[in-house]
Structure 1
Amino acid sequence: MKQLYIECRLNQWSDIFTLNQRFLDQFVFRGQANENWPLSTSLERLINSLFPNLVDKAMIPHHEKEMLKEFKWKYPLYSQNSPDSTNNIEWLTIMQHYGAATRLLDFSKSLFVAIRMAIANNESNSAVWAINKNILTYSISDSFLREKYEKTGKGGGMSIDKVYQLSNEKANCVITDKSFDRELEKELLLINPEQCNERLSIQQGLFVMPTNIMVPFSHSLTSYLSSPTPTKLHFDDLSGYNIREIALLKITIAKELNYSVLNYLRQMNITPETLFPGLEGLGKSLNYPRISFNRDGD
């Protein structure tokens, strides 16, 4: 069932706390420094910059395969702990971690982490995108995965661990072109890597992966929506909606809020020093005002 796309604007920090934990638990979040940027993967952006007039979209999966092939070949030069050679989704998560362009899009289970990422280096209004993870886990119950699950003989609903496992299985089939029609299917998979790293852990990270990389990420996302045009609401009106009705939520954050929001997040111990391991986090954490701009001098 296709669902709503809602857009609202955060005008004061206290508005955030009108959203209860039950509401927040239903979404995964991504912060972006510019409210006008669409959701797009680094691979999509790379291809668009290298080949802005590309006609043969079948080149994109080929490009991905060549990147995977080279990374696997050279990886032993840098590490002796290699994933299984056939576990391509795990390889992609490692590539993403080290800066390679992939079809994976970073998300967090934490709204507050996403807000910090959104306003960290923005020069305009920023945005947090929230995807209802239920629409992604429901789609995992397609024929490909349901048959696998039913073979266990357990019946009933799937646990989140089972969803992650089967999502990863489907992702690997997609990347290797098994049991998948690229022309017909535009699905988004919720990916939780088998092997965690420090940054992924502290940022409560996970990924959303499009099954079809020959179309923009936003096109795949639109296939879940009743309309690609957002319904615009006041922030406090969100509480009047059934969570199940909302597939996509975009929260715009006014640039004027940056200073106060950063201060609140610092009080919550959400800083670069806690979000980025090592000296990188320490260095970034120094970039905050050491004086108050409060007119009352507080």
Structure 2
Amino acid sequence: MKIKNFTDLIKELEPLKKNNDLIFRGQSNVDWEIIPKSGRNGFSEKYTKTLPERQIFNSWKRYAKSHLSKHPETEWDWLAIAQHHGLATRLLDWSKNPLVAAFFACIENNDSDGVIYYYKLTDVLEFDERTTSPFDFKGFNIFFPSGLVSRIINQRGLFTITDKPTVGLEKQLKGELKKIIISKEAKENIIMSLDFYGINKLSLYNDIDSLSEYLNDYVANNHSNNLNQLITEE
């Protein structure tokens, strides 16, 4: 059954709330593979022995230092920051909050059905972030970043990582990965309902660019939810 409105979505999520070990990911096109950006076409085939993914990351890190007031202590947190600033990495964004996943499943591609994936955390491997490089890590695992980036905290974010970034997680996790399909016709209704409950670009990204986008969306789409208070405050 496809989710047809926000009420359907809440009914589908309700039985899951007893599971505190679930993580969620939203994608705005149900046909897309669950694959990190560095493993997608346009990136994966470009990496070679003379131009490895690690080298691109090290170049990013070298230049990014001048833009950061505080530098991460581990390569893992460096990679998390690079991921959230748009670099193609082998990390994949997830959230502990299913409504955050719903936002990303509905915010774009209105001509396609969206999807929320969820996965039960089991057998999470313990490893030393100070001595283990994300580029040498083997297998599949979960990475909980530190709170250096407010966006990660706002989104209750965490990451999955795999040494096979070109292989979709559907294949790697097989039956362990579950999904909720959201009808393309339901996306606008769900986005407006999420906004009412405080899940929107402004709350999730919490930067000045997102503030501008949020207000632009309000004007363009004639939203009326709880934004009236924001635009009338002095």
Query: Which band: TM-score by shorter chain?
Result: 0.7 to 0.9
Gaps of 5+ in 2: 225-234
**Change beyond 3 A, Cα 1:51–1:44:** closer
Is 1:100–2:80 an aligned residue pair? no
Task: Give the TM-score taking structure 2 as reference length.
Answer: 0.80
**Change beyond 3 A, Cα 1:168–1:277:** farther
- Inter-partner Cα distance in structure 2 for 1:291 and 1:33: 21
- Inter-partner Cα distance in structure 2 for 1:284 and 1:277: 11
CA contact (8 A) 2:75 2:130 kept: no
Of 105, 109, 113 in structure 1, the residue corresponding to residue 100 of structure 2 is 113
Greater relative CO, 1 or 2 (CA 8 Å, sep 6+)? 1
**Change beyond 3 A, Cα 1:224–1:120:** closer
Is 1:200–2:200 an aligned residue pair? no
| TM alignment of 1:31-46, pairs within 5 A | 31-45=26-40
Identity of aligned residues (%): 24
Could you give the per-residue CA deviations for residues 28-54 of structure 1, whole angstroms, max 9, x where no partner exists?
A: 111111111110111112xx21565x7
- Inter-partner Cα distance in structure 2 for 1:60 and 1:34: 33
**Change beyond 3 A, Cα 1:35–1:171:** farther
Moved over 6 A (4+): none
**Change beyond 3 A, Cα 1:224–1:97:** closer
Is 1:169–2:129 an aligned residue pair? yes
CA contact (8 A) 2:141 2:161 kept: yes
**Change beyond 3 A, Cα 1:36–1:167:** farther
- Inter-partner Cα distance in structure 2 for 1:133 and 1:170: 23
Could you give the per-residue CA deviations for residues 185-212 of structure 1, whole angstroms, max 9, x where no partner exists?
A: 6x32111113431111111111111133
CA contact (8 A) 1:171 1:211 kept: no
Aligned residue pairs, count: 218
Partner SS for 1:20: helix
Partner SS for 1:118: helix
- Inter-partner Cα distance in structure 2 for 1:22 and 1:91: 32
| TM alignment of 1:1-298, pairs within 5 A | 9-18=2-11, 19-20=14-15, 22-23=17-18, 25-45=20-40, 48-50=41-43, 59=48, 63-79=52-68, 81-84=70-73, 87-123=74-110, 124-134=112-122, 138-140=123-125, 166-167=126-127, 169=129, 172-173=132-133, 175=135, 177=136, 187-213=139-165, 215-218=166-169, 221-226=170-175, 247-286=176-215, 287-288=217-218, 289-290=221-222
Q: What is the root-mean-square deviation of aligned Cα atoms in Å?
A: 2.8
**Larger CA Rg, structure 1 vs 2:** 1
Gaps of 5+ in 1: 1-7, 141-165, 227-246, 293-298
Partner SS for 2:109: coil
